[in-house]
Structure 1
């Protein structure tokens, strides 16, 4: 019976943490970002300056927080030693016609290290982005 209580407690904790998004990231319009799969609607391009405001706060966050804020990545690349890169498109491109191939469209690249934490965030074409004031 004691083991069952511990198991239920752990399950409850996991469920709570899996839905957790830090307060500092809650101002970002995640719903609009997630709804614009592959950036084919053009909404992500409008949200790029808003993302830039929270980008530094994403460093060191766990993978589940990235998925809670940005949703499932448009593409994912598995690297050696369990590292991954999540790709989120910021503009429409060839990925809107053929989502199976990585497009040259401007995209956000989130690097997840082997511990499941964000270790880097970059853009494929940073000069095309407008910086927030």
Structure 2
């Protein structure tokens, strides 16, 4: 019985990892630029690729949402995979007649990040 209690505690602790260290990345500005329509995320892209992107792989969906804010667009794909998109600049999602760059995060069927890509047009 004691073993199961300890195991349950360890599982809860591992699921509630402490806040991810983003080395001074401006998360407030990232989160405030919904759909990238204000162009603030474009100014953060180099920092994002260097300081945040390498730390996303292996995180759970809830951790990503807590870190980066609600995704601008989510896709449920085959085999229960999920994709989050965070737009970097204004485009069709803001009513403009152009495609926008975005960060795409792929989650496995277990809701764990297994790929982070910056999509350029």
TM bucket (normalised to shorter chain) is 0.7 to 0.9
Structure 1: runs of 5 or more not aligned? 1-5, 129-133
SS at match of 1:38: helix
Q: Deviations over 1:29-58 (max 9, x none)?
A: 111111100101110001111111121111
Would you say the 8 A contact 1:21–1:68 is kept in 2? Answer: no
> Is 2:12 aligned against 1:17?
no
1:26 deviation in Å? 5.7
> 1:39 corresponds to which residue?
36
Root-mean-square deviation (Å): 2.5
Query: How many residues get paired?
Result: 109
State the TM-score, normalizing by the size of structure 2. Answer: 0.78
Q: Distance in 2 between matches of 1:57 and 1:88?
A: 16
> 1:131 corresponds to which residue?
none
Q: Distance in 2 between matches of 1:69 and 1:58?
A: 10
Q: Distance in 2 between matches of 1:111 and 1:121?
A: 6
Structure 2: runs of 5 or more not aligned? none
> 1:105 corresponds to which residue?
100
Runs of 4+ displaced beyond 4 Å? none
State the TM-score, normalizing by the size of structure 1. Answer: 0.72
Q: Distance in 2 between matches of 1:85 and 1:91?
A: 18
